[in-house]
Structures are given as C-alpha cells and as structure tokens.
Copies of this chain bind each other. A is one copy, B any other.
Amino acid sequence: MSRVRTNLQTIIAANVRRRRLELGLSQEQFAEIAGYHRTYIGAVERGERNITVSTLSAIAAALKLDVNELIAPND
C-alpha cells in the first residue's frame, strides 16, 4: 500500500526541531526544560523515536504548543 503522507514520527521530528529553533533554544536547553536527556531530544528530532502520547504531551507543553500543532504536517 503506497502512502503519500510523511509518517507521523517524521512530522513530529521536524516540528520539534523547527519550534525549538524558533524559541531560540539549543537541544540541551530544550531537553532541560522538557525534562528529557539531550540525546533523547536529538533522537526525537531525527525521527528515530516512536514516542508515546505522554511524551508527545510533555514535549508540546515545553514547546508551548498544542499537541495538534505538534503533529500537523508542514509544507
């Protein structure tokens, strides 16, 4: 089955990275705010982590976004 849409993990990765940079935060600074390790945030931003909905909520809150903004595909 062919899928045109980028998968959710990749969308979230791009959104986390873009929003973090928008907030002027390094991965390390953001990791501290969000309560995760810097290497974990790095992996999320590379789309390497299949995160849970509770992590999704925590990351959205730390980025001052609603969860639906964090999962929205961006052109």
Contacts and interface: CB of A to CB of B under 8 A. Distances in A.
Contacts of A65: none
Say how many copies of this protein the assembly contains. Answer: 2
Contacts of A7: 54, 57
Interface in A21-64: 50-54, 56-57
A43 B53 CA distance: 15
Nearest to A54: B50
A8 B50 contact: no
A68 B8 CA distance: 11
A9 B53 CA distance: 7
Nearest to A53: B8
A19 to B, nearest CB: 16
